[in-house]
Structure 1
Amino acid sequence: MLEQYVKKTLTSRVYDVAVETPLQPARQLSERTGNQILLKREDLQPVYSFKIRGAYNKLAQLSPEELARGMVTASAGNHAQGLALAAKHLGVKATIVMPRTTPELKVQGVRSRGGKVVLHGDSFPEALAHSLKLVEEKGYVYIHPYDDEYVIAGQGTIAMEILRQQQGQLNAIFVPVGGGGLIAGIAAFVKYLRPEIKIIGVEPEDSNCLQAAMAAGERVVLSQVGLFADGVAVAQIGKNNFDICQHYVDEVITVSTDEICAAIKDIYDDTRSITEPAGALAVAGIKRYVEREGITGQVLVGIDSGANVNFDRLRHVAERAELGEGREAIIAVTIPEKPGSFRAFCEAIGKRQITEFNYRYHTEKEAHIFVGVQTHPETDPRAALVDGLRAQGFPVLDLTDNELAKLHIRHAVGGHAAAVPDESVFRFEFPERPGALFNFLTKLGGRWNITMFHYRNHGAADGRVLAALQVPEDERHLVPAALEEIGYPYWDESDNPAYKLFLG
């Protein structure tokens, strides 16, 4: 199997439109980790992503008759732009079906490269179904974003370049994983020629379709997929891809949103370039792997796979990067409601920089404060901060890993309402499209009283919402069905300690 992929990779026609990207040393990251870290800069491709390789290679294999029929695909991201440019170069028509929730940056990216954009549905499966309908109705040729042998071989040219650029020591290659085309192409080529090199996939914790498949020994469909790293938000690994990965990928590492944000900052510090969340997965995986294994002196390559990120998302990235790096702690502290308490607390913090401070009167005896404090993973870890405050008599709740606290509570402190009975709290992900909020209020607002609502846009395809509903005890059993009917992903946060402390 590997031999046929190697032959397809060696004969791939990608360089009519793609460029050979540099393998760039990450100097600061290398010094910090004690290993040589090299970044494969696929963000420097003409469409700011590796996807141009596979898309063009697939089109280059089609007959003149097939090309004349026109191309179609479903994509919310980089494959769409790659196919649009590939089709333009070959002088053929490409229709890209994209969900209505697709960020405007990517829609304009397709149009600017000559692709016809059809916005259909609110999710990728709906867009996919419509694209397949167009194949039947108009006779278009469907170009799969990842589950195709020629697409896989086109992505494999990245491995061909890496082995030529780094001919000496090379211990492991870390690869972002979505549908699996990139890691399958790299694994097939590398394991055939240099089987001693480890191939390590990296996925978000809430989008780990390859890790789940490898654990099960077969492809699985994730019931829910996280949207922060939208470039790899895929519920099921491709069939052709899994056939390769289950035999030739050494392991899959998962990383958190905060770790991805920290990796985006790491790449910026070393290259002065901004990568998209999916593009930073490999660096986040390298850091997790190095910490876990305690290794030094190795040569590790990370695939910087793309840079198509909405500028608005950078505020969220900046906010979370320090947390992911272990350089900030988010804590809740209870202090006496009396003169001098703030001063005593600040003295207990010492010389640490306070990055955020939120206070709201609670009772005549005590106050709850929400605080961000600068820490350092080696010289001043957050455990030392928390233990030190507790030793001085301050009740402390560490919220650094609490998603509700980081997404909503830090922006809603001051909304305490102790007199609201029968309150249930839920966190939602809304599609960012007109009518989403109205749909929510129409289906739910008339049934139970909404006692709290907090919304924050992160410049992505989804919006984050925190809502509280006043539901009598004898109606609690009706809530899940009502929320399922709305159709938005949700989490019950009624027992979350951050909610109880600041908003309950």
Structure 2
Amino acid sequence: MDEKQSPAAFRACADRALDEMRALFGPTPLQLNDHLSARYGAQIWLKREDLSPVRSYKIRGAFNFIRKALDRDPGLPLFVCASAGNHAQGFAYVCRHFGRKGVVFMPVTTPQQKIDKTRMFGGDFIEIRLTGDFFDACYAAAQDFALTEGALMAPPFDHDDIIEGQATVAAEIAAQLPEGETPDLIVLPVGGGGLSAGVARYFEGLVDNDRFLLSEPAGAPSLKQSLAAGHRVKLAKIDNFVDGAAVAEIGLRNFEILKRFRADQVMIVPENAICLTMTSILNTEGIVLEPAGALSLSVLEALGPERLSGKSVVAVVSGGNFDFERLPDVKERAMRYAGTKKYFVLRLAQRPGALRDFLSLLGPDDDIARFEYLKKSARNFGSILIGIETKAPENFVRLIEAFDQAGLSYQDITDNEIISNLII
């Protein structure tokens, strides 16, 4: 990162990148969301990067990286990247735009839907190679290919030109806000840090640092831990559920920009809370978001009206590449987080009428969603896994009281990660 470059000079570079980008696609909308604004008593503006040609902001960084590389060497014939998601799709789209050959390395475990979309965006200009079970092996293979074949590697986030490209999101926000309006709060999702670094750098000197709020999934808080430590921290283990933001280590260049923020400006969002946001925004607004795309909106939910009332808030919605085969899992996680679904292991007597007696304890809004006989734990008793859905979480307070009054032997395993992963 050129530390001598002033914020104004950086903005000028990002504005030029945006002008060039207009040959590829128009600005994504900045929408004042009536539903969320009324809910929080605020002006909630959504920057809809899920409406880009590849349904994420990643096309911006890929475009700027390849554009500038071709400006330096117009004869470059071959590019390569490693990605199982949005970066691959943006890279493929841009390779086709510039008429350059691109090779995309993806893990063998990549869902077919993502492979097909990458191939669709790149057409004849893209070759897809499936390598390894995990991203690290895939990334290493792409690096080896770049060295042996003379291809230029397009990194997903840790590069000046990528950061500059993602900063065009901020350039559009600045142009789309009502004249003279400066948001009270800008909410940004964080994975590798390309988007957050670009937007923060663009608004440096225009928006106070305290007006930024960054968000990471609970299973991959690399920025928050790095800010707390004062240096980059590589996480030993991450949860890949929020695949668009599950990064073990924040980018080096990205951290150089983001280290001016405090650790308490990074909000950690549980994966199940993100699922609740995804289902809520789908049901109320008809907006399909991927888990990383819902991060900023989950932050709004966590803040609530008491902290947002009367404020102007810009929340960047980073992507909408959601595989609907994941919807049952997302709905399940959302209900468990909302407290409207629980799992119990019951020990029931093996006698006629025992199950009927249990069913009589259920209320009018309680529904059995899972019933499975596990084993006989004794000659006269058996263990049953039961999943119960209800309309309001307080219904479980009444139901558990009924269990206790009936003398039932039970265990609530809803939040027991080890047991629930084994048998649910």
Q: Which residue is equivalent to 1:105?
A: 113
Among the aligned pairs, what percent are the same residue? 33
Q: Which residue is equivalent to 1:373?
A: 388
After superposition, residues 95-134 of structure 1 pair within 5 angstroms as 95-112=103-120, 113=122, 114-134=125-145
Q: Which residue is equivalent to 2:371?
A: 358
Q: Which residue is equivalent to 2:302?
A: 288
Does 2:60 match 1:53? yes
Q: CA deviation at 1:225?
A: 2.1
Cα separation, 1, equivalents of 2:110 and 2:249: 20
1:11 maps to a residue whose letter is R
1:234 maps to a residue whose letter is V
Which of 166, 171, 175 is matched with 1:160 structurally?
Answer: 171
1:136 maps to a residue whose letter is L
Does 2:284 match 1:270? yes
Q: TM-score, normalised by structure 2?
A: 0.86
2:113 maps to a residue whose letter is L
Q: TM-score, normalised by structure 1?
A: 0.73
Does 2:287 match 1:279? no
- CA RMSD of the aligned region, Å? 2.7
Aligned length: 408
Secondary structure of the residue aligned to 1:373 is: strand
Q: CA deviation at 1:358?
A: 1.6
Higher mean C-alpha displacement, 392-401 vs 183-192: 392-401
CA deviation map 1:403-433 (0-9, x unaligned): 34544423xxxxxxxxxxxxxxxxxxxxxxx
Q: CA deviation at 1:314?
A: 1.9
Does 2:258 match 1:245? yes
- Structure with greater contact order relative to length (CA < 8 Å, sep ≥ 6): 2
Q: CA deviation at 1:182?
A: 0.8
Secondary structure of the residue aligned to 2:50 is: helix
Does 2:222 match 1:172? no
Secondary structure of the residue aligned to 1:40 is: strand
1:251 maps to a residue whose letter is Q
Cα separation, 2, equivalents of 1:174 and 1:355: 39
Q: CA deviation at 1:216?
A: 1.6
Confirm or deny: 8 A CA contact 1:355 1:373 kept in the other structure.
Answer: yes
Cα separation, 2, equivalents of 1:148 and 1:315: 37
Q: Which residue is equivalent to 1:220?
A: 233
1:21 maps to a residue whose letter is T
Does 2:144 match 1:144? no
Secondary structure of the residue aligned to 1:266 is: helix
Cα separation, 1, equivalents of 2:41 and 2:362: 31
Cα separation, 1, equivalents of 2:176 and 2:156: 27
Unpaired stretches in structure 1, ≥5 consecutive residues: 411-504
Q: Which residue is equivalent to 2:417?
A: 403
Cα separation, 1, equivalents of 2:187 and 2:177: 15
Cα separation, 2, equivalents of 1:205 and 1:75: 22
Which of 343, 363, 381 is matched with 1:330 structurally?
Answer: 343
CA deviation map 1:59-101 (0-9, x unaligned): 2222456342222222221111111211221222222222222
